[in-house]
Amino acid sequence: VTEFELIRLLKPALPGNDQVVDGAGDDCAVLDLGAPGMVTLLKTDAVVEGVHFESGESPVRIGHKAMGRCLSDMAAMGGLPVAAVVTLGLPEGWHPDRIEGIYQGLCALAARWRTAVVGGEVTRNPGGLFINVCLVGSATRESVVRRAGASPGDGIFVTGELGGSLEGRHLDFEPRLAEGRWLAEGGWASSMIDLSDGLAGDLPHLLEASGGIGAELRMESIPVSRAAKLRGARGDMARPPLLAALCDGEDFELLFTVRPGKAVALLDGWKAAFPSVRLTCIGRIETKPGVRLREGTGFRPMPGGGFEHFAGVEGN
């Protein structure tokens, strides 16, 4: 069962109430808790030993990743993170020093984004280390950006460079919170999602949420990371760099759409606000469903499925 099948299966039966603005299915849930003009964003996410990190990994990096994944989802809604709570599931014989390391990684990243860590839970988990982070954030009601909202004609943009995250970025990435807020508050993005399942995996989620529309991507515009190129050259994990950029998971970059008339102004504003962060227009939203990959004057088939986390588990 994938997460998406599960959501489809379970969503109709989930209880709601009149404080729910958006329930399951986006990067964060959206709640109305009564603050005038504001909404509350809520996200939960876990990293698991042997699935999202290797057993020998540094506790500090594991903690960083656990917090970073939630913050990246907050970024993708244009939210401001407020507070997190943490659940640690510990295998037998875990040394307190390693717990401190995890908290160091969690807290250093949280503190950098003025996110409080307000509690937690510790339990045993016989099979291995399990860290769940639940994050609360806030945003003005009008500024929230969703997966739904893209329209035919919109340009498709992506921050940073894609692919090869397993070379290290998946443990060390800085969530695009400043960029996400800037895009949301400036009203630039008509829809947005963070790239955790790879461009080929996440773009279809945005298209489906936006009403089953499609997209054309220009192959030569895809920003391929140095890590993806390196990976292409390494015997043990060899993969063509473009395929890595399309299909590797855990880029934790932002994928978003922009109304056609705004693209030039966006690129100008972006350069002034984030001079060191690459922003690329990689294609265009179209009415016809599906994703097409344009190469020169022809088309290539888009690689299907598309997510590949550390051990092949999908997430969001």
**Contacts to a copy of itself from residues 185-204, by CB under 8 A:** none
Using the CB atoms, write b or e for 79-92: b if 16+ within 10 Å: bbbbebbbbbbbee
Stretch 132-161 residues interacting with a copy of itself (CB under 8 A): 132, 134, 136, 138
| Rounded distance between C-alpha atoms, residue 244 and residue 229, angstroms | 8
**DSSP code string of 98-112:** HHHHHHHHHHHHHHH
Nearer CB in complex with a copy of itself: 121/295: 121
**Residue 87 within binding range of a copy of itself, rule CB under 8 A:** yes
Least distance CB 147 / a copy of itself (angstroms): 13
Residue 316 makes contact with a copy of itself by CB under 8 A = yes
**Binding string, 30-49, against a copy of itself, x = CB under 8 A?**
-x-xxxx-x-x-xxxxx-x-
| Cβ 298 vs Cβ 216: under 8 Å | no
- Selected range binding a copy of itself among 13-21, 53-61, 146-154, 174-182, rule: CB under 8 A: 13-21
C-beta of 195 vs 266, nearer to a copy of itself: 195
Instruction: Name residues contacting a copy of itself, limited to 56-85 (CB under 8 A).
Output: 82-83, 85
Residues 88-117 that bind a copy of itself (CB under 8 A): 89, 91, 94, 96, 99-100, 103-104, 107, 110-111, 114-117
Quick one: 165 or 316, whose CB is closer to a copy of itself? 316
For a copy of itself, the closer CB: 177 or 224: 177
Q: Which is nearer to a copy of itself, 128 or 223 (CB)?
A: 128
CA of 9: how far to CAs of 1, 154, 181, 203, 288, in Å? 10, 31, 32, 21, 26
- Does the protein bind a copy of itself through residue 124 (CB under 8 A)? yes
Query: Which residues, at least 6 apart from 135, have a Cβ–Cβ distance to it below 8 Å?
Result: 41, 42, 43, 44, 45, 70, 71, 73, 74, 81, 83, 84, 115
User: What torsion, rounded to 10 degrees, do the Cα atoms 288, 291, 294, 299 define?
Assistant: -80
User: Which region among 54-62, 122-130, 153-161, 232-240 touches a copy of itself (by CB under 8 A)?
Assistant: 122-130
Binding-site size for a copy of itself (CB under 8 A) equals 77
Between 136 and 243, name the residue whose CB sits nearer to a copy of itself: 136
Among 22-30, 174-182, 221-229, 283-291, the segment contacting a copy of itself (CB under 8 A): 22-30
217 CB-near residues (< 8 Å, 6+ apart): 156, 199, 203, 282, 283, 291, 292, 293, 294, 302
